[in-house]
Amino acid sequence: MTEELVSYECRDQVAVLGLARPGKRNAISDRVVEALALAIERARTEAKAAVLHGHGAHFCAGLDLAEHVARTPFEGVLNSRRWHEVFARIELGPIPWFAAIHGAAVGGGLELAAAAQVRVCDETAFFALPEGTRGIFVGGGGSVRAARLLGISRMTDMMLTGRSIDADTAERWGLVHYVTPPRQALDRAIALAQKAAGNAHLSNYAIINALPRIAEMSRDDGLFMESFIASFTATDPEAEARLRDFLDRKTGRVAPPAAR
């Protein structure tokens, strides 16, 4: 029987994908990358939001080093570019992704989590980028995604020293958005994904794909682009119906934040 490397289920328009190598701390092998690619494509066609988590005691301990050490430099480049291609389908796809993190999110595991739009972790989570201490460099998009979340200075520290950070530090540094008690990150991520799945599809697509691009533009170019996107999304029939519901007081107003 074929080993299941990525579990998949769909709950109320939310696809839930689980890395399923708990004996290897969900280390990412070539086969895991390809299984993840297939599951991502399925989620994009079957769901309106998705959650990524890890089975067992950890989210993901990163790259499967046993495979990596046997590669030639060119094979390493091709492997890294495949990670980029697959992770980009999470970062810049048609549906929002939520990462539910517990235990280790180390190296490639942190890079995978950084591809999601929203990251939820529980109090057991810890994060590290130990590539520098192992004689290698990040290859799964960390120098772009993780560096923009953490800042170059903090990422440099983590890579040079092998420093790991806990959940509270990760939230303070902007790496994660929510921290839950132990064993509650997945449920929280699913609840948040279900809320996002209820948004207008075009609005979600614009948030996911336009905001990162606007951030790379000049101030005036970004404002110009914002005007067109705001006008375009407002003419979407789904958005128009939602706006009318709000004006007719069929939907509630924004409430104050609840205590965490």
**Contact indicator for 18, 99 with CB cutoff of 8 Å:** no
Q: Which residues lie closer than 8 Å to 51 by C-beta, 6 or more apart?
A: 14, 15, 16, 17, 97, 98, 99, 100, 186, 189, 190, 193
Please name which of 54, 74, 5, 61 lies closest in space to residue 34, comparing C-alpha atoms. Answer: 5
In sequence order, what DSSP letters do the residues of 134-163 get, joined into one string?
GT----SSTTTHHHHHH-HHHHHHHHHH--
Rounded CA separation 64/49 (Å): 28
Q: What positions carry a catalytic annotation?
A: 111, 131
